[in-house]
Amino acid sequence: MDKVNQWALELDLLKTIIAKKELTETIKWGSNVYVHNGKNIVGIAGFKNFFTIWFFNGAKLTDQKKVLINAQEGVTKSMRQWRFRSKDEIDEETILQYLEEAMQL
């Protein structure tokens, strides 16, 4: 099974949550990316062992729950991702708060 389809239901759940904000869905770099006022805000993707939502300016977010990580230390300056291994780990309320903060940046 390919890495994206392995997480199809989980990625659909993330899309449903993101759709509650005024973001435009696009495809960039082969992934779903969501844009606000012409700026990349967030993206989602499936990988072999996890699926993720990443924030393009994640380093600037408050990250009160301490869930964001730098996936490529030394390579990625501002982008941060939140990794999930099951849909039970998805915290809609916190995701919406992080999205709102990201849109305000």
Q: Structural domain boundaries of the chain?
A: 5-104
What is the full per-residue pLDDT of the chain (105 aa) written as tens digits?
555 579 999 999 999 999 999 999 999 988 999 999 999 999 999 999 999 999 999 999 999 999 999 988 788 889 999 999 999 999 999 999 999 999 999
- Fold designation for 5-104: Aspartate Aminotransferase, domain 1 (3.90.1150)
pTM of the model: 0.91
User: What is the 3-class SS of the chain, one letter each residue?
Assistant: CCCCHHHHHHHHHHHHHHCCCCCEEEEECCEEEEEECCEEEEEEEECCCCEEEEECCHHHCCCCCCCCECCCCCCCCCCEEEEECCHHHCCHHHHHHHHHHHHHC
